[in-house]
A and B are shown apart, each in its own frame.
Chain A
Amino acid sequence: MTDGPARGRLRLDPPSVVSDASLAARLADLARASKPSASPVARRRWHLPVAGAAIVLATGGATFAAGQVRQHDEPRPTIVPAEHLAPTTTAPASAAPVGGEQKAPTPAASAERDGDAPRQAEALTPPTASPRSDEKEDHGRSEHSEHDETGEQASHETSRSSGPSGDDSGKDSESASVDDSDNRTGTRDGDGSSEGVSSVDGQAGEHSG
């Protein structure tokens, strides 16, 4: 640091500043041209729409989030199709051996126990072991699908019979008409075709159920 006399006091005398008239006139011109940069009211105007938009967005987002959480928490009713309820390796009641052995619970019994409709129980019954009466009852219900299947079979048979021999169209049409009439009335003979119909019937019944 410097010597003692220089440390005497902190207070300094301000330098003499020469006042200038031209400087004062320039400052006055600047002051005359001075305008308020922005009034507080004008500065506050943009706050309202922004605040309103923020409130609306926040409320909408909160409502949407609450709906999503509620929808996620509520259990939905589960709809299971009938074919998914059919056991795959269950022996039918009619095909079960009659004896001292205890019968396995049939799907119909389980369906009745569960309170399902009897129609659904019928649909669960395997079609190969169903009696003839069941086949007739289901015939009306699945007539359309049966017609399609047997129609395909008939066309195959027609082509097979007419292919190698090269018969005329009259025979083909006759055989086709016979096949169609058989399909419509259900009077076609033959165990194979009837088994095919019943199997198709069973599948159709399952689908319709």
Chain B
Amino acid sequence: MSTLRSSSEATTHLSVVERARTGDAAAWHELYDQHAGRLLLWLRQLPSGDPSADHEDLAMEAWAVAASRIADFSGDDEAFGGWLFTIARHHLLNARRKVARRATYGTADLPEVPVPAETSTVEHHDAVRRALAALPRREGEVIACMDVVGLDLATTAQVLGIKRPAARMARSRGLARLRKEGWEV
């Protein structure tokens, strides 16, 4: 760890992404601390189509792809989050297509799952996930980015591959639907 600190001190004049591009482990540590939590939260809110899908695996695949393709990334620190979320979204869409091709429907009775201790938090997350899944796909994605995770409009438009007015319009429509459902937005 001390070696990481020393190397990061030697390259403080560079941005985090530039240091990460050169292979600095401390820079990757910093990037991971900034974006890993939001990325995992965002992936959990998006429907993957497979109840057994592990969002942490998708997040780790996104990180590995980002590290192996960092030479192609030419943005700054602020743009790195959008680029990472875009990679994760592509992985999620691939997983969704894979599930659609190999769709299986269980007929046996599932075993009882014990309720965890943090029931209220889990219920709230599950309610948010179901509310976003009930929205049109574009509106749910925009609200998951901007209102659930906290990305800005530009990053959301970049992640979803749409224009900013389209993202703004989808957000306003989705929020109007959620207000009708009783959500305080």
Interface residues of A (CB under 8 A from B): 1-2, 4-17, 19, 21, 23-37
Contact = CB atoms under 8 A, between A and B. Distances in A.
Given A21-B4, A24-B29, A6 B127 contact: yes
A1 B27 CA distance: 43
Nearest to A29: B23
Contact of A1 (B1, B70, B143, B181): B181
Nearest to B41: A14
Interface residues on B, range: 35 or more
Given A31-B20, A37-B71, 13 more contacts: A8-B184, A13-B41, A17-B36, A17-B40, A23-B63, A24-B29, A25-B25, A29-B23, A31-B67, A32-B23, A33-B68, A34-B70, A36-B72
B28 interface: yes
A27 B25 contact: yes
Interface string B144-185: 000111100000000000000000000000000010011111
B63 A7 contact: no
Contacts of B183: 7, 9-10
A32 B25 CA distance: 10
Contact of B64 (A4, A11, A14, A30): A30
B147 A21 contact: no
Nearest to B26: A24
Given A19-B32, A24-B32, A12 B125 contact: yes
B40, B63, B68 interface centre (most CB from chain A within 10 Å): B68
Contacts, number: 120
B182 A1 contact: yes
Nearest to B130: A1
Contacts of B45: 12
Contacts of B71: 31, 34-37
Given A1-B131, A34-B68, A14 B181 contact: no
Contact of B25 (A4, A28, A35): A28
Contacts of A1: 127, 130-131, 181-182
Contacts of A15: 37, 40-41
